Amino acid sequence: MNIKELFRINISHRTRIIALFLITVISYGFYNAFLPITDPVESNYVLSAITMLNHNSWISPMIYDHVWYDKPPLTYWALMICYKLFGISDFVSRIPNTLIAGASVSLMYHLVYRIKQSIPIAITSAILLMSTLQFWYISHAVVTDGFLFFFSLAIFGYAYLAFTNNDSSSMVKAYIASAFAVLTKGPIGLLLPGLILLVFMGLRKILSPNTEETGLLKNLKLAFNPLGIILFFLIASPWYIAMYSIHGQDFINGFLGLQNVGRALVSEHPKFDVWYYYLIVTPLALLPWTPVVVYQLRKLNWKESFNLLGGIWFVIILLFYSIVATKYLTYTLPAIIPCIIWGSETIINLLFNPNLSKYCTYLVTLPFGIYTCILGIGVAVSASDYILDYIIIVSIGALIFKIARHYIRSYSQLTLLFLLPILALYSATTISVTPILTSQSGIQFTSYIENTNQPVFVYGGYYTSVVYYTEHIPTQVYLNKTDDERWAKARNIMPTITKDEFLDQLPKESNAIVIVPNRNIKDFESSAAAVITKPLGKTNGATVYKVQNSISF
């Protein structure tokens, strides 16, 4: 191979990376301006970034003008930079996660290409990632998990390349990615991948004891790369040192104590603390590619290095978060990384092996069709105004799929067969989820409270996004629930009063607005507050009441 040919390959590889990034960003950014900021998670991030900007606080995370220790600052920094550049809006709030989604899809292609040395598998891995339900959802949300996924993918891919190629530079890249993961989510960004890699080194040695590349001492030297460790601390430690120097023991207790150790030992939401939680979540997270992944699992040689690392990565992440008391849908997103690659290998085998092509219908086309129908039914039930748009866009995708399948016979067929119908489906889905998100957002109350100077109360809940949309700061009426009181104290930074204080204060608050989430309607209507209030309006998520002037206790 001459220099010109090598250069041409590099340009082609770079072009694919850029193309996948742009396709993801454009398709994911489609309709983002119409996706409202939801409660309770997204609104905390956007309001924190806005509060930090207002206080010019680039070190200490803040909300409601108070320092809080919920997360490290990387996601806040990304939001703050975007707000500085483009102003504050729903669309701008989603730019960081849209960009990191594009970067993740491109990185998936790049790493799989290096690991598998196969362009079709690499492209398919990128497409499958972009179209997987959990990744699509998290990449549209204003949360930290999109950033954590990107850095976890880098750790997984570069660590594997380091061990299999004895490549110290790849291990340095893994350490750099881990440093940014620690700035995104906390110490778990280093501890969990570190545990996985130690188990991988040990099992690899046990399964292949006489192979030079599995030598434990050699791999330990590679893993504890001095340059990587130095760069890790140079990147990750300054923020932690600065926070401790400013806030001292409060930072240790609030961030490392409650938000990290506390989450592991005491559930924020006890009703979700069941051992089988992620056994249900994971198959749903991989839709519509779950059948493809399951099909491939039974054929894998688990002694092969990639499959061994992928299996350990998947099992330990699921096992760890199953043991941890606090459970969220987003926690196990990095576990799908090897599953995406396994699914891609299956699809390539199905498409290019005549003896297996019949399975393509059952494992790929049929599940995707069922998935499309389920989403369509959901749109019809919850967002009937958008059902026609959904049908039109999905039909266009199906037509493109049909044309590509019969008239194109190249690697580009692979791209068109999966990419364009997927884009059509998810564009339709993005349009149709707006009413669903609105019911979980404070934007639904703006017509009731944006022109009032009267106090606003939220009975038994809170909508941080009300502050984002209206600049009114409601008062939470705290009702005793089943959640642990330690979490109530940590989360209730907003103005909060007890139910008894609310009932005493309300008669003095003429024309005050009371927002009652649907789950608390019965409690509110059975209280004394119902006597002096009248319904002002109703949304999908709550009923809005107004205090009357002439009635008192």
* Confidence (pLDDT) at 139: 93
| Confidence category of residue 551, pLDDT binned at 50, 70, 90 | very low
* Confidence (pLDDT) at 435: 78
Q: Say yes or no to pLDDT of 432 above 90.
A: no
* Confidence (pLDDT) at 54: 94
* Confidence (pLDDT) at 328: 82
Q: Out of 325-339, 420-434, 496-510, which region has the weakest mean confidence (pLDDT)?
A: 420-434
* Confidence (pLDDT) at 229: 96
Q: Say yes or no to pLDDT of 5 above 50.
A: no
| Confidence category of residue 488, pLDDT binned at 50, 70, 90 | low
Q: How many CA atoms lie within 13 A of 163 on its CB side?
A: 27
- Identify the CA nearest to 188 among candidates 311, 323, 49, 58: 323
* Confidence (pLDDT) at 6: 39
Q: Which residues contact 128 (CB under 8 A, 6 or more apart)?
A: 289, 340, 343, 344, 347, 418
pTM summary value: 0.89
Q: Say yes or no to pLDDT of 452 above 80.
A: no
* Confidence (pLDDT) at 157: 97
pLDDT digit string, tens, across residues 25-52: 998 888 888 889 998 889 999 999 999 9
pLDDT digit string, tens, across residues 371-403: 777 777 766 766 556 677 777 777 777 776 666
Encoded tokens for 459? 């009975």
530, 548 in Cβ contact below 8 A? no
The rounded distance, in Å, linking the Cα atoms of 150 and 341 is 15
Amino acid (1-letter code) at residue 522: K
The rounded distance, in Å, linking the Cα atoms of 96 and 211 is 44
Q: Say yes or no to pLDDT of 485 above 90.
A: no
| Confidence category of residue 314, pLDDT binned at 50, 70, 90 | very high
* Confidence (pLDDT) at 3: 38
332, 323 in Cβ contact below 8 A? no
DSSP 8-state code for residue 1: -
The rounded distance, in Å, linking the Cα atoms of 148 and 134 is 14
For residue 352, the tally of other CB atoms under 10 A from its CB is: 12
175, 65 in Cβ contact below 8 A? no
Q: Say yes or no to pLDDT of 438 above 90.
A: no
Q: What is the CA radius of gyration of the chain?
A: 25
The rounded distance, in Å, linking the Cα atoms of 416 and 423 is 10
pLDDT digit string, tens, across residues 240-278: 999 999 999 888 887 877 666 656 666 666 677 787 888
| Confidence category of residue 406, pLDDT binned at 50, 70, 90 | low
Q: Out of 309-318, 319-328, 409-418, which region has the weakest mean confidence (pLDDT)?
A: 409-418
Encoded tokens for 384? 């009937």
Q: Say yes or no to pLDDT of 343 above 90.
A: yes
* Confidence (pLDDT) at 396: 73
Q: Say yes or no to pLDDT of 307 above 90.
A: yes
| Confidence category of residue 312, pLDDT binned at 50, 70, 90 | very high
| Confidence category of residue 490, pLDDT binned at 50, 70, 90 | low
Q: Which residues contact 478 (CB under 8 A, 6 or more apart)?
A: 460, 488, 492, 496, 497, 498, 499
Mean pLDDT of the chain: 85
| Confidence category of residue 4, pLDDT binned at 50, 70, 90 | very low
Q: Say yes or no to pLDDT of 416 above 90.
A: no
* Confidence (pLDDT) at 217: 83
The rounded distance, in Å, linking the Cα atoms of 417 and 313 is 30
Evaluate the omega torsion of the peptide bond into residue 40 and state whether it is cis, within 30 degrees of 0.
yes
Q: What three-state secondary structure class fits 89?
A: coil
pLDDT digit string, tens, across residues 324-341: 877 788 889 999 999 999
* Confidence (pLDDT) at 2: 41
Reduce the secondary structure of 504-519 to three states and give it as a string: HHHHHCCCCEEEEEHH
Q: What percent of the chain has pLDDT over 90?
A: 42
pLDDT digit string, tens, across residues 167-187: 999 999 999 999 999 999 999
Mean pLDDT of 352-377: 73
